[in-house]
């Protein structure tokens, strides 16, 4: 088997949806090591020398078959290599009558299977693989018997319903055949392949068990190339929802590969999956550099399939963080660097990337060109189902935004057929949201509400599925702790019994000694013994009562801990629901805004910004371990990025942040977020009317339980008389009212721009919790 690069997508990982588009992962897990342990060039030369010497036919046959396999597995598809392999096999068959044993026959059939499979004659190759298994099962050659089972598994079609189960059974037999043999490297490899297969059929427990055994065997022989094992570890923990542990294993795989100077597609896979997991953790800016590292490796290896997948991840990532110019730049670089491979072989890709980005930018005049190209394509050429899904998703978006309802409805019907083929809840969620958006724009509010409810049901089911995985992890940890506690209790009981036995023996010795001295002494000592026994039993009874009480207290403490955890999960669920409800309100406001203009539209948009500020608070609360407070140093920059994108001020206005790590409760965080929203919105609207660039500074610091928030700009400055007359401005009235709600002080200054200062006292309940 020559080294292959298999783009078999991990079923669970590939369910992760990112901005409506699938993040692609390169699953090359089990191809960093040659399954057949092919010999080196030096070893091949040694086998050639052995053939020319006077050795037994069995030794010559073994050398000839190893040389044949060496030529079959050599890189490239050279006819000369295949011809050499055939000649070696024929020479081995001529000598076979003299040493016709099951082991020799099985070895011959095994090599023939490799030959026919490499030549594309799979039916004949499969027959030889089965014959190899049948012959080697009767021999004592466990090594080649294990390889024959692996070779037979290469013919299993994983697309069928029972294909994965059949292949797993063959590989488990291969592992069993190696039990008690010295071929530990082969055993470790098969266990790793088993972990990969069981992961792909969602049997994470078995996958974790297999990869743990593989790592133990590899380490026992000092094997160093463990990056594939660590990568599979990361993939398993990713599917279990333990993203932080997944990242730690992938970073370990990265260090291992880099220390070994690995420039293969395996390190490409490691970088790519690391980027995907950072995106799952909402740390997309940290994930993008890993995508670029993966792209460089794919270019070194001239792997066009990988290049396309990784470029798609990069474009999607930039679109998600709102860096549309970088997304356009990446697409243009594709045209410049590799026009023949990308444009001619997969002509749908570049129009898809452009349409996706221009749709996000709402630049429909530029998007029209690429919409037309995709709309006129017949069957989308070499596009796979995932690309076709993305194409129709973008076609529907464009038709909806441009009010081409006739085309949008046709495309939605085709979109539904594609989603039904996937049967993936993430894609159903995207479909229902697209249907909701189309019905909203058309004015079909009943249909819009029905689709929005379907979207919410699917989204909530996905959220509950994620939480169920985490709850399962807690249950496993709880059961483990319970078993450890049970073992400790048993050990304590055994220790007490040993002590009791020792004490009894001591008392018997004393009784014998006393009896040998005098009868009086015996009676006297007997009385003492009786008193000691009575005292011992009394003490034992007290100890038993004490232990029982301690056990009850321990159980109650564990029960209270579980109740606290349940309360925290419920609070997170409440915040999640509140955030979703606020998001629904924003969606309805956006639908209404499509039919409004002027002041009414501005009022709707202002309301959207205020509601988003509150929604973001609840999102932060259920996404962090601390469900009571919000870190303002993390929250305020994210709110500002949203306002920048909403007003399109990224190129005109810069922001400077000097925010300490201050945690505020909901009662103070929401008013502060709304005050910042009003202040920054006013700066966008009135401070830079002459289209000049500007700077807005936002600072927040706490000293002696007093918190001071300062928002200033270098714009035209506020009219202080107008600032005092808050009744004429809704924004200023809100700021004053919200400041009063948190019992703070609001000050306005005009010094080369507007400066707003809010001073308030931190919530005393939070201060008590921190102490």
DSSP 610-633: HHHHHHHHHHHHHHSS-SSEEEHH
CB 432 within 8 A of CB 454: yes
pLDDT in tens, 499-542: 777 777 877 888 788 888 878 878 888 888 888 898 888 888 88
CB 663 within 8 A of CB 631: yes
Q: Name the pairing type of β-strands 663-665 and 706-713.
A: unpaired
Q: Name the pairing type of β-strands 653-659 and 694-703.
A: parallel
Do 651 and 754 belong together in one domain?
yes
C-alpha 591: how far from its chain's center?
A: 33
Task: Report pLDDT for 6.
Answer: 35
What is the DSSP secondary-structure string of 521-550?
Answer: HHHHHHHHHHHHHHHHHHHHHHHHHHHHHH
pLDDT in tens, 463-506: 565 555 554 544 444 444 545 556 566 667 677 777 777 777 87
Distance CA 283, CA 285 (A): 6
Task: Report pLDDT for 380.
Answer: 62
- Coil, helix or strand at residue 402: coil
Q: Is residue 132 part of a domain?
A: no
Phi, psi of 665 (to 5 degrees): -75, 170
Do 367 and 392 belong together in one domain?
yes
Burial zone of 485 (CB within 10 Å; 0-12 exposed, 13-18 middle, 19+ buried): middle
Q: How many domains does the chain have?
A: 3
Do 369 and 467 belong together in one domain?
no
Burial 695-724 (b: 16+ CB within 10 A, else e): bbbbebebeeeebebbbbbbbbbbeeeebe
Distance CA 459, CA 462 (A): 5
Do 482 and 360 belong together in one domain?
no
Q: Which two tokens stand for residue 271?
A: 């970088």
Q: Which two tokens stand for residue 589?
A: 């406001």
Do 469 and 535 belong together in one domain?
yes
What average pLDDT score do residues 664-685 get?
88
Burial 40-66 (b: 16+ CB within 10 A, else e): eeeebeebeebeeeeeeeeebbbbbbb
Task: Report pLDDT for 475.
Answer: 42
Distance CA 121, CA 133 (A): 19
Phi, psi of 629 (to 5 degrees): -130, 165
Q: Is residue 305 part of a domain?
A: no
Find the angle CA(741)-CA(744)-CA(748) to the nearest 5 degrees: 115
Find the angle CA(611)-CA(614)-CA(615) to the nearest 5 degrees: 85
CB 155 within 8 A of CB 129: yes
Do 463 and 574 belong together in one domain?
yes
Domain end call among 389, 422, 443: 443
Q: Is residue 255 part of a domain?
A: no
Q: Say which residue, 9 or 262, is predicted with more confidence.
A: 262
pLDDT band at 577 (very low <50, low <70, confident <90, very high): low
pLDDT tops 50 at residue 445: yes
Do 464 and 425 belong together in one domain?
no
Q: Residue 654 forms beta bridges with which residues?
A: 695
Distance CA 610, CA 366 (A): 31
* Percent of the chain predicted with pLDDT > 70: 81
Distance CA 208, CA 623 (A): 27
Q: Is residue 165 part of a domain?
A: no
Task: Report pLDDT for 583.
Answer: 66
Find the angle CA(100)-CA(104)-CA(105) to the nearest 5 degrees: 75
CATH number of the domain to which 655 belongs:
3.30.565.10
Do 550 and 636 belong together in one domain?
no
pLDDT band at 209 (very low <50, low <70, confident <90, very high): very high
pLDDT tops 50 at residue 375: yes
| 8-state DSSP, 343 | I
* Cβ neighbours of residue 42 closer than 8 Å, sequence gap 6 or more: none
In the numeric block, the tokens 């790793």 are attached to: 192
pLDDT band at 383 (very low <50, low <70, confident <90, very high): low
pLDDT in tens, 177-188: 999 999 999 999
What average pLDDT score do residues 424-450 get?
86
What average pLDDT score do residues 727-731 get?
69
* Cβ neighbours of residue 733 closer than 8 Å, sequence gap 6 or more: 726, 727
Q: Say which residue, 603 or 381, is predicted with more confidence.
A: 603
Q: Say which residue, 503 or 566, is predicted with more confidence.
A: 503
Q: Say which residue, 618 or 128, is predicted with more confidence.
A: 128
Neighbours of 294 (CB within 10 A): 28
Q: Say which residue, 612 or 294, is predicted with more confidence.
A: 294
Task: Report pLDDT for 258.
Answer: 87
Do 460 and 545 belong together in one domain?
yes
What average pLDDT score do residues 436-458 get?
87
Write out the H or E segment, with its range, that includes residue 247: helix 243-259
| 8-state DSSP, 752 | S
Q: Is residue 100 part of a domain?
A: no
What is the DSSP secondary-structure string of 102-146?
Answer: HHHHHHHHHHHHHHHHHTT-HHHHHHHHHHHHHHHHTSS-HHHHH
pLDDT band at 31 (very low <50, low <70, confident <90, very high): very low
Do 369 and 492 belong together in one domain?
no
Q: Say which residue, 577 or 738, is predicted with more confidence.
A: 738
Q: Is residue 543 part of a domain?
A: yes
Q: Say which residue, 271 or 582, is predicted with more confidence.
A: 271
pLDDT tops 70 at residue 771: no
Do 462 and 557 belong together in one domain?
yes
pLDDT band at 733 (very low <50, low <70, confident <90, very high): confident
Domain end call among 409, 443, 477: 443
Asked whether the CA dihedral 176, 177, 182, 183 is positive or negative, the reply is negative
Distance CA 331, CA 635 (A): 32
Q: Is residue 375 part of a domain?
A: yes
Considering just the CA atoms, what is the radius of gyration of the chain in Å?
36
Task: Report pLDDT for 474.
Answer: 43
Tally of CA atoms within 13 A in the half-sphere of 761 that contains its CB: 5
Task: Report pLDDT for 3.
Answer: 36
pLDDT band at 132 (very low <50, low <70, confident <90, very high): very high
For the chain, give the mean pLDDT.
80
What is the DSSP secondary-structure string of 548-589?
Answer: HHHHHHHHHHHHHHHHHHHHHHHHHHHHHHHHHHHHHHHHHH
Task: Report pLDDT for 341.
Answer: 57
Domain end call among 414, 443, 472: 443
Is this structure's pTM higher than 0.75? Answer: no
Where do the H-state alpha helices sit in 403-444? 405-422, 425-442
In the numeric block, the tokens 């007997």 are attached to: 526
pLDDT tops 50 at residue 42: yes
The residue segments making up the domain with residue 637 are 630-770
What is the DSSP secondary-structure string of 447-474?
Answer: HHHHHHHHHHHHHHHHHHHHHHHHHHHH
What average pLDDT score do residues 748-769 get?
81
Asked whether the CA dihedral 544, 550, 552, 555 is positive or negative, the reply is negative
pLDDT tops 80 at residue 767: no
| 8-state DSSP, 75 | S
Distance CA 353, CA 365 (A): 16
Do 546 and 658 belong together in one domain?
no
Q: Say which residue, 459 or 19, is predicted with more confidence.
A: 459
Q: Is residue 11 part of a domain?
A: no
What is the DSSP secondary-structure string of 496-527?
Answer: HHHHHHHHHHHHHHHHHHHHHH-HHHHHHHHH
pLDDT tops 80 at residue 441: yes
pLDDT tops 50 at residue 19: no
Q: Which two tokens stand for residue 477?
A: 């940890």
pLDDT tops 50 at residue 33: no
- Coil, helix or strand at residue 157: coil
pLDDT tops 80 at residue 621: no
Q: Say which residue, 538 or 175, is predicted with more confidence.
A: 175
| 8-state DSSP, 40 | P
Give the chain's count of helices (H) and strands (E): 30, 9
Q: Say which residue, 363 or 621, is predicted with more confidence.
A: 363
């Amino acid at each position: 088997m020559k080294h292959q690069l298999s783009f078999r997508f991990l079923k669970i990982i590939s369910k992760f949806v990112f901005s409506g588009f699938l993040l692609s992962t390169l699953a090359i897990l089990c191809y960093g090591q040659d399954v057949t342990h092919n010999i080196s060039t030096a070893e091949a030369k040694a086998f050639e020398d052995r053939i020319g010497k006077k050795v037994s036919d069995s030794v010559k046959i073994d050398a000839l078959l190893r040389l044949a396999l060496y030529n079959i597995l050599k890189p490239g598809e050279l006819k000369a290599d295949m011809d050499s392999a055939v000649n070696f096999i024929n020479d081995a068959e001529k000598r076979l009558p003299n040493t016709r044993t099951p082991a020799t026959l099985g070895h011959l059939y095994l090599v023939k299977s490799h030959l026919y499979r490499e030549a594309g004659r799979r039916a004949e190759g499969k027959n030889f693989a089965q014959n190899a298994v049948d012959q080697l099962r009767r021999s004592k050659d466990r090594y080649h018997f294990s390889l024959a089972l692996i070779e037979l598994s290469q013919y299993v079609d994983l697309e069928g319903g029972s294909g994965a189960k059949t292949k797993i059974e063959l590989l488990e037999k291969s592992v069993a055949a190696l039990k008690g043999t010295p071929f530990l490297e082969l055993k470790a490899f098969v266990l790793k392949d088993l972990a990969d297969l069981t992961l792909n059929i969602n049997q994470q427990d078995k996958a974790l068990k297999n990869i743990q055994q593989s790592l133990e065997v590899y380490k026992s022989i000092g094997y160093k190339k463990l990056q594939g094992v660590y990568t599979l570890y990361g993939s398993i923990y990713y599917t279990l929802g333990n993203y932080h542990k997944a990242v730690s294993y992938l970073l370990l795989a990265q260090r291992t590969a880099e220390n070994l100077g690995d420039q293969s597609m395996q390190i490409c896979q490691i970088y790519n999956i690391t980027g995907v997991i950072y995106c799952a953790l909402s740390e997309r800016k940290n994930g993008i550099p890993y995508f670029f590292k993966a792209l460089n490796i794919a270019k070194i290896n001239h792997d066009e399939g990988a290049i396309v997948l990784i470029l798609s991840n990069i474009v999607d990532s930039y679109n998600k963080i709102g860096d549309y110019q970088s997304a356009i730049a990446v697409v243009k670089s594709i045209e410049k660097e590799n026009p023949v491979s990308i444009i001619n072989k997969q002509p749908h890709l570049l129009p898809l990337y452009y349409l996706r980005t221009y749709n996000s930018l709402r630049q429909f005049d530029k998007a029209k060109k690429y919409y037309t190209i995709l709309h006129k394509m017949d069957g989308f050429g070499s596009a796979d189902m995932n690309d076709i899904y993305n194409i129709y998703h973008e076609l529907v978006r464009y038709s909806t935004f441009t009010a081409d309802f006739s085309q949008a409805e046709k495309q939605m019907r085709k979109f539904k057929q594609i989603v039904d083929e996937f049967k993936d809840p993430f894609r159903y969620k995207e479909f229902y949201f697209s249907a909701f958006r189309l019905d909203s724009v058309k004015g079909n509010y009943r249909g819009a509400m029905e689709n929005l409810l379907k979207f919410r049901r699917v989204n909530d089911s996905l959220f509950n599925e994620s939480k169920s995985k985490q709850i399962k992890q807690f249950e496993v940890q709880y059961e483990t702790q319970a078993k450890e506690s049970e073992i400790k209790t048993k050990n304590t009981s055994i220790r007490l019994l040993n002590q009791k036995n020792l004490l009894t023996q001591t008392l018997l010795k004393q009784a014998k000694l006393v009896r040998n001295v005098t009868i009086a002494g015996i009676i006297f000592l007997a009385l003492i013994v009786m008193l000691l026994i009575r005292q011992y039993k009394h003490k034992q009874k007290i100890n038993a009562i004490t232990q029982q009480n301690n056990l009850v207290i321990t159980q109650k403490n564990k029960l209270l801990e579980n109740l606290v955890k349940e309360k925290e999960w419920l609070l997170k669920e409440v915040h999640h629901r509140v955030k979703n409800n606020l998001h629904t309100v924003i969606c309805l406001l956006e639908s209404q805004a499509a039919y409004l203009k002027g002041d009414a539209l501005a009022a709707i948009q202002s309301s959207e910004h205020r509601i988003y500020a509150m929604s973001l608070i609840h999102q932060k609360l259920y996404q962090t371990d601390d469900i009571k407070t919000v870190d303002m140093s993390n929250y305020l920059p994210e709110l500002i990025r949203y306002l920048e994108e909403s007003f399109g001020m990224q190129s005109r206005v810069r922001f400077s942040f000097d925010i300490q790590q201050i945690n505020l409760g909901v009662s103070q965080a929401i008013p502060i977020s709304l005050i910042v929203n009003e202040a920054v919105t006013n700066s966008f609207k009135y401070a830079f009317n002459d289209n000049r660039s500007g700077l807005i500074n936002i600072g927040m610091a706490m000293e002696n339980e007093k918190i001071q928030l300062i928002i200033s700009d270098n714009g035209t400055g506020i009219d202080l008389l107008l600032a005092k007359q808050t009744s004429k401005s809704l924004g200023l009235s809100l700021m004053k009212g919200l400041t009063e709600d948190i019992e703070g002080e609001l000050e306005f200054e005009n010094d080369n721009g507007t400066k707003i200062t809010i001073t308030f006292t931190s919530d005393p309940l939070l201060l008590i919790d921190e102490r």
